Amino acid sequence: MNEAPSYPPLSPVLTGLACRCPRCGRGRLFSGYLQVADTCDACGLDLRNHDSGDGPAVFVIFALGIIVVPLALWVESAFQPPLWLHAVLWSIVILAGALGLLRLFKGVLIALQYKHRGTAHD
């Protein structure tokens, strides 16, 4: 009889930030930029039911708010640029930050969901 392979416990934060499979740590978690793959190409884990919902977006909003608001206040007090420059500068910073962080946060939340959900392990 064939015994199912065992997988070592992996850090959900490290595998999520690396955008790797939460079970084996080798396969890709995403098939597109934010589209979760159907299955892990390394271990075959079914990833279709792993959905992070709106959680990553909420965390990204909070993280960017903590970073951007003090920076905007500092730039205003130090340089006093015109309002249109604030609008252009912070729009670009927020858009780039959101696109950069959203995939990472989604990967971490899916890995945490895999670790803490009792029935989704196989």
Q: How would DSSP label each residue in 34-92?
A: SPBPSB-TTT--B-TT---TTHHHHHHHHHHHHHHHHHHHHHHHHH---HHHHHHHHHH
pLDDT tens track, the chain, 122 positions: 466 678 889 999 999 999 999 999 999 999 999 999 999 999 999 999 888 999 999 999 999 999 999 999 999 999 999 999 999 999 999 999 999 999 999 999 999 999 998 544 55
20 in a structural domain: yes
122 in a structural domain: no
The tokens for 102 are: 């959203």
6 in a structural domain: no
103 in a structural domain: yes
83 in a structural domain: yes
What values do phi and psi take at 105, rounded to 5? -65, -40
Q: Which amino acid is at 55?
A: G
- Which residues span the domain enclosing 55? 12-116
